[in-house]
Amino acid sequence: MKAGHRGFPASRPLRHAAVAAALGLGWFWNVPAPVAPAASAQPEVPTPAAREAGIRRDATVLASRILKWHGEDLRVDEGRLDRLAREIGTVLRLVRERHPATAEIAARPLPATLSLRIEGDLRDDIAERWSGSGAGAEVPAGHVFPTGHAAFDDLRARLGLLTAGFWPATGDLELRFAARANLRVAVAAYSAVAGVAHVKPYWHRFEGSDITMGNFDGSWHVVMRKAWDDCPRGCINRETHFFAVKGGRVERIDEKLFLEAAMGASDGKGQRE
């Protein structure tokens, strides 16, 4: 294990996946337990305007993440997104007022990505259009689509497909959509399309700084992870903060309490939008 990394042993991948699914996050874990912040450089103090702009941005990113897994429409409803972002913004504001060092930790926008295994005529037609592009190359949607398969092309248009990657030898197709795509509904919709043998969300795994949060039984639980030093190779140092926020009160909690709340949500016992 690299210097500065403390946290979950590698023997807990199933628990990580369950918590990640509860939060709609993919592989956020890799979340380590808190480490001493002494090794971290002193952050610059943002202006009030910059601080508020950062809260609004992070709240929108986090609300979009949560709503990607809720609702019955292919696209996240903008009204619901705005309402949830305002609530999340209030939570972030409380945390950052009481713990100013967390202001430098930002939520990372995650693309809405699906991995498909396609077969038959659909695979053949996409392979023909893919001619000249390398296997797995990320290309603009217009380079390959429309395919001529009406149901497939309709979903592409409605979800706002941005880029695609295709592996002709295996029929694996990776589709990256606009941020407002509802992945839960998209998985069900693509599963019903002729020629799609299998579809699942693509979990983006990364090592850098990020925020995640979920509302369990009326209490917002927040994880803020700061990571630094050689992050393209995995980040040498990390520190992670866990909070519970309810009724204007912010409480720093430990990893165990957070996991208990999140695991209860993964069992269907408390997570709400």
Domain finish residue from 173, 201, 229 = 201
Q: Which domain does 128 fall in, by range?
A: 112-201
- Asked if residue 1 belongs to a domain, the reply is no
- Asked if residue 87 belongs to a domain, the reply is yes
Separation in Å, CA 125 to CA 118, 122, 128: 11, 5, 5
Separation in Å, CA 145 to CA 60, 199, 236: 30, 18, 42
Comparing CA positions, the residue from 93, 69, 62, 64 lying closest to residue 81 is 64
The CA distance from 209 to 135, in Å, is 31
The CA distance from 124 to 222, in Å, is 46
Half-sphere exposure of 259 (CA within 13 A, CB side): 15
Shared domain for 171 and 118, answered yes or no, is yes
Shared domain for 105 and 25, answered yes or no, is yes
> Would you give per-residue pLDDT tens digits along the chain (273 residues)?
333 433 333 334 334 434 444 444 443 444 433 344 444 455 566 788 888 999 999 999 999 999 998 889 999 999 999 999 999 999 999 999 999 989 989 998 888 899 999 999 999 999 988 876 778 788 888 777 888 899 999 999 999 899 999 999 999 999 999 878 999 999 999 999 999 999 999 876 666 788 999 998 889 999 998 877 766 666 677 788 999 999 999 999 988 888 887 777 655 444 555
- Asked if residue 259 belongs to a domain, the reply is yes
Q: Read off the pTM.
A: 0.75
Shared domain for 159 and 242, answered yes or no, is no
Shared domain for 81 and 185, answered yes or no, is no
Shared domain for 101 and 120, answered yes or no, is no
The CA distance from 229 to 8, in Å, is 20
Shared domain for 120 and 74, answered yes or no, is no
Domain finish residue from 143, 170, 201 = 201
Comparing CA positions, the residue from 117, 92, 108, 136 lying closest to residue 27 is 108
Shared domain for 155 and 193, answered yes or no, is yes
